[in-house]
Chain A
Amino acid sequence: MGQTLVQKILARATGRSFVSVGDILEPAVDLAMSHENAALVINQFLEIYKGTGLEPKVWDPDKIAIIFDHRVPAESAKTATNQKIVRDFVANQGIKKFHDIRTDEMGICHQILPENGYIRPGYVVVGTDSHTTSHGALGAFSFGIGATEMASVWTLGRILNVQVPETIKITVDGKFQKFVEPKDLILYIVGLLGAEGANFKVIEFHGETIRNLSTSGRLTICNMTVEAGATSGIVPPDEETIRYLREVANVQDEIEIICPDEDAKYEREIKIDVTNLEPQIACPHTVDNVKPISEVAGVKINQIVLGSCTNGRLEDLEAAAKILKGKKIAKGVRMLVFPASGRILKEAIRRGYILDLMEAGAVVVNPGCGPCLGVHQGALGDGEIALSTTNRNFKGRMGNPNSEVYLCSPSVAAVSAIHGVITDPRNGG
């Protein structure tokens, strides 16, 4: 019997030829990622070693990545102190995949990992962040875990208690209309499955639309699979994956390609044709409250947010800059732009996108998670409404329980910024 991509990855990571759905495994971990919450991981890691008489030593410093992105530069003494604890630990343990607060290395973890070649097809990747699902875009089995679980991984080099998940196969065909983007597709899928529709399951993506997408678009899609509860999203690696790893991530060594078997068994199969898909909006206060833009157009906006691990890549900034070039953001609306990495920011400056956005009135913030989770910048006032290219609109998400967040694509964000209300980019930008 054939195996899904995740079954094959887990079989390899446990030295078997076959694993069945439901098996409980302890796969070896190829990459273990944390951000600022590494401070908590360190606390739990030292706790594990307490009383053992052993010197606390991570299993393999080359397989650990730590990226500061949630609160950069530090917004408080507490964060700054936590960051200092992490910096000291990283130096002591010899962890080299560490990205500090400087433009030549910083960015959001889910951009830093792929663009630095830390992710390869077939890897088992764990991260103390729920959007670790993103890295399935490169054919890895990549999922979010808690801080204590990460401390266990740092100790043992494997992750305990992984139950081989069922896989939902989604095949996407058709060509997107102009101004319809990967974000619209994943919002549509989250709406279709519901917030817990894929809980404990993996979503494997197939079809010509996915094959024609760049890795950037695939990252957007896999990023938000967790909003349907999925353990991970995954795209079988192909020529585009190799192109990205060679040309963008500058990977020199051999790249192994693992693909699902033709006769793999799926929990269910869903087919989607995007030919007539219109831009999608996730309405307050759940990500699965998704409506076509025609039902939401006209809602007045106070703040536009462009960026995040979902939509802060070069293609996203380009889409927005093209719409906003020579235009002005509506009076009374503020637009915040936070690119996904320093490298993206620099390239967007070179290409003129940043200037176009700034001349339209946007405020460009340093790379990082920014206002997405309401811990740093761009909090909303009471009764205010944000339209954002980020991934969550839970009550209180942008720092204020008395505000609302709508989620959309970069093109919708840009054209809505001009009009001050949610606007369909297909109806004239």
Chain B
Amino acid sequence: MKDDEAAAPTPPGRSSPRVDEARRRLLRSAAVGGVVVCASLLTLLDHRAVEAAPRLRPPGALDEEDFLAACIKCGQCVQVCPVDAIRLSDLDQGIGNGVPYIAARAQACDFSCDATQCVLACPTGALSHLIDAKEQSRMGVARLAAPDACLARKGEGFKGLARGEAFKGHLRYSDIDRWKPQPVASHPYDLGTCDLCVRHCPIKDAIELVPVSSDPQDRRRTPMVKDACVGCGVCEMMCPAEPAAIRVDVRVKGRDPGGPKT
């Protein structure tokens, strides 16, 4: 009988095939479990690597660590954005896989929706429901990162398409259509002094052009970012210099509307 075989004593130093298989099965299971857990931990390591270049998060995002914990990676914020500013990260972002971000140079959040639709869409509060106006968001702060490239600082004007014909980005041009964002590439400019960053800033008193010297003949101006700046990135998107002279420094801490401002 089969059962007798299994019960028969096995030669010393050798276990029965059935015991062997059971042991191998356990080992395999432990190995697979280990690999899967390690894969998930790798995403944490990966995340450490991408921390050096943090991504701009949508308005209302909690501080980065909390945000990554609270986001359920569903993309509902992506779906409601009228200018498609929000995208989802991929697995190369490690633990940030599936988390929304904004690539401001390609398409900034210009608050075309008027009041943070993405926040309303977020089911988890990773985009904090504590904000209900664009001025309350603290995504980052704009900074004139390459002053020498800034046309206004050189005292130059700007004529033509801000970002060229191939640029896909959209912007709210309220005087054309308040509810339909227009392609930036459909909107040529002719400016005596380039003020694109100031002209299109959706936040009141966030940026202004100030004279470089007290000489009234000096046409040079420098964009000065003020406290009201929320870091939406419209200035970065609209800057005609290549690469952009003005860029947003991403806030990773102190942006939680419920937390302290740093």
Q: Do A and B form a real pair?
A: no
Residues of chain B having any CB pair with chain A under 8 Å:
none
